[in-house]
Structure 1
Amino acid sequence: MNLPQLTLQARSLRECFDSSARRQKRPVWTRDQLMQGFVGDVGDLMKLVMAKENLRNAPPDGIDARLGHELADCLWSVLVLADEYGIDLASAFAAMVTTTSARLAPDAEH
């Protein structure tokens, strides 16, 4: 699956969350609330990474599936935030890789 397909799926899931919130008479999440949710997911991911590195107790139901789930949650947040702000994530990522690679090249002037 490519990035535009992932973005479409992320947008569709966002619409499902919004519809669910409306049915329950709750407000849909704003951009800043989406970001807050992302920060929470990153915190959950950090705990799982620490468990994977034996720095915390691992969850009793195993870690790899939960680690994959949290990584997917984080990816969803990044895709939705990029979509919300009109960021072409593929272009932004390519530009970042090009710029950073050039800066880190052995013959680059520092």
Structure 2
Amino acid sequence: MQERARTVRSRYAEVEASSYGRSWTTEEIMLGFLGDVGDLAKLVQGKAGVRPRPDLDEALAHELADCLWSVLTLADAYDVDLGASFSSTMDELEEILSGPDA
């Protein structure tokens, strides 16, 4: 997934440079991600019955994938090994959940 996200980001950078004279900064990518999270929130409301639409399941799947692309792109921009970070974070959470107060 990381490699494919990187390839798509590279193509977007070319389009941005052609259209705007430069590619988006990581801050602009983050702002785009925030917009996608807002769209995702509306779709989650739809699943709860508050914002129904006929293509809800497809739109939800698309928006989740769009958000994942943003996370992968930001991780790549900051040289974060997302696989390793995910594993260590899940290990930490599982340790907390199996602790004496769990």
Range class of TM-score, shorter chain? over 0.9
- Residue 89 of structure 2 corresponds to 96
Cα deviation, residue 27, structure 1: 2.5
- Residue 28 of structure 2 corresponds to 33
> Aligned to 1:55, what secondary structure does the other structure show?
coil
Cα deviation, residue 25, structure 1: 3.6
Cα deviation, residue 77, structure 1: 0.3
For residue 59 of structure 1, the aligned residue among 53, 56, 60 is: 53
Query: 2 CA distance for matches of 1:8 and 1:21?
Result: 20
Cα RMSD of the aligned pairs, angstroms, is 1.2
Cα deviation, residue 59, structure 1: 2.5
Matched residue type, 1:103: I
Cα deviation, residue 42, structure 1: 0.5
Aligned CA distance change for structure 1 residues 51 and 26 (closer, same or farther; 3 Å)? farther
Identity rate of aligned residues, in percent? 41
Cα deviation, residue 22, structure 1: 1.7
Query: 2 CA distance for matches of 1:14 and 1:98?
Result: 30
Cα deviation, residue 104, structure 1: 0.9
Q: How does 1:2-17 map to 2 (within 5 A)?
A: 6-17=1-12
